[in-house]
Amino acid sequence: MATCIWLRSCGARRLGSTFPGCRLRPRAGGLVPASGPAPGPAQLRCYAGGLAGLSAALLRTDSFVGGRWLPAAATFPVQDPASGAALGMVADCGVREARAAVRAAYEAFCCWREVSAKERSSLLRKWYNLMIQNKDDLARIITAESGKPLKEAHGEILYSAFFLEWFSEEARRVYGDIIYTPAKDRRALVLKQPIGVAAVITPWNFPSAMITRKVGAALAAGCTVVVKPAEDTPFSALALAEVNQGFLLDLDPLLLASQAGIPSGVYNVIPCSRKNAKEVGEAICTDPLVSKISFTGSTTTGKILLHHAANSVKRVSMELGGLAPFIVFDSANVDQAVAGAMASKFRNTGQTCVCSNQFLVQRGIHDAFVKAFAEAMKKNLRVGNGFEEGTTQGPLINEKAVEKVEKQVNDAVSKGATVVTGGKRHQLGKNFFEPTLLCNVTQDMLCTHEETFGPLAPVIKFNTEEEAIAIANAADVGLAGYFYSQDPAQIWRVAEQLEVGMVGVNEGLISSVECPFGGVKQSGLGREGSKYGIDEYLELKYVCYGGL
């Protein structure tokens, strides 16, 4: 009943009005107009074999605004990075569509903010359940549009869903404070309230997880969102909208307004091409109805968005570039260090923001580590199409990414580095590069001070702990860092001295929904995930209650 009241009081459009002028009847997977089947998604062209057999409902190509699938005046192609084949033509939204999405989110906010924490928790939990039910299809979409090996894509979908599960629980743990003041007739209260509409701009390397990590927190707090996914991977964001909408539609139509899922306008998705990305990003980040910007991507783009945010003093959280050091001290267990290096460097073919970018190995253990690392790479890494069983290294996202890795390798070799294994493009195609290990690397080489985002592992030999710390901290970014040591005193010293937001000690995989994700220096602002993540979407209000 309460839900019906707030929907009416805010003047929100009833969920049933998403299908104007028609009566709804149930069908498998949702509802369709009684007069016939619902209009399907825009025609998809040349889907790769990996997407064959997927439900057409998950392969959406239009924008999702105000609870409706809306086409744009133009479309842009999305390609399979492994084969270059066109996956489909997606709505190419512009400034007009972006502003419409912001308005829809703003109109929904007045209602969504009043939904009880328990109700928001329940709805996010339903979204989590539906992601788990559809995990195989969602994983195949990730592999098709990003090239990520299917096993890793399955892992990402679980990771994505876990953020919804986590924040469904955190929604009920937003607490305020009561402060006793010196005045006996007063009490001070501190309230936490949702900040408003959040503009969410996400990258292509984790096209599902980077959305749920932000959106889960935002919706749990009572905010509404406009998501602009990366132009290379829009299908995952649109599929999440469809899954989201799935629990809007799996109920009796008479109960849609009061018992269904997340209301129209709370979650909006506006895909756009690389050509339109700059103006769309500027439109949503400068819109006065937007109160919060959350961005994951390059430091360069982050600085541009910070400039946009400054004009209207918007709240900002950003997870930007990194240059993660991976330090191996003489006391380290070599086998353990190599296993950590493999996990940290070659996940998603080296295309993660927390991938180890430079390997600093102490002189006494250097040769043994390099030999074991090379052997592990040759034994365990298999380059191939992400849909092929056994593939551990898929393609890079596009040829520009390959050119960057190639440039760094050539630069290093020209300055004296030695190729231990790999070192060139792979014969499979233009977007594939061989997993590469370099030794005799020096600090004047590009690969030591430029984020690679590819399967390149450069090894620098060092002598002392102080030298390693100095090299690691010389970067103007500080997202993640890793080191291996069996010396307890050294572990404490190094963990505290590394200028990064996250440290892996004898561990190469550090991401977890329960732990705060974020960096220092030019690697960003704020934290995502964990109990701290929801605070990014809340603001404090002090209330002085007098006359007691």
Tell me the per-residue pLDDT of 299-322, one tens digit each, with 9 for 90 and over. 999 999 999 999 999 999 999 999
The pLDDT confidence band at residue 261, using thresholds 50, 70 and 90, is: low
pTM recorded for the entire structure: 0.88
- Mean pLDDT score of the chain: 88
Per-residue model confidence (pLDDT) at position 243: 78
For residues 446 and 411, the answer to whether their CB atoms sit within 8 Å is yes
Same fold, 63-248+259-320+528-540 and 324-513: no
127-164 pLDDT, tens digit per residue, is 999 899 889 999 999 999 999 999 999 999 999 999 99
Tokens of 534: 């929801």
β-partners of residue 525 are: 318
Quote the percentage of the chain above a pLDDT of 90.
Answer: 84
- CATH code for 324-513? 3.40.309.10
Per-residue model confidence (pLDDT) at position 262: 75
480-513 pLDDT, tens digit per residue, is 999 999 999 999 999 999 999 999 999 999 999 9
Residue among 403, 419, 301, 351 at smallest CA distance from 148: 351
Catalogue the active-site residues.
Answer: 319
For residues 264 and 108, the answer to whether their CB atoms sit within 8 Å is yes
Domain ranges in the chain? 63-248+259-320+528-540, 324-513
Q: What is the mean pLDDT of residues 58-73?
A: 92
Sheet holding 197-201, edge to edge: 68-70, 63-65, 267-269, 224-228, 197-201, 290-296, 315-319, 524-525
353-411 pLDDT, tens digit per residue, is 999 999 999 999 999 999 999 999 999 999 999 999 999 999 999 999 999 999 999 99
Does the pLDDT value for residue 191 go beyond 70? Answer: yes
- CATH code for 63-248+259-320+528-540? 3.40.605.10
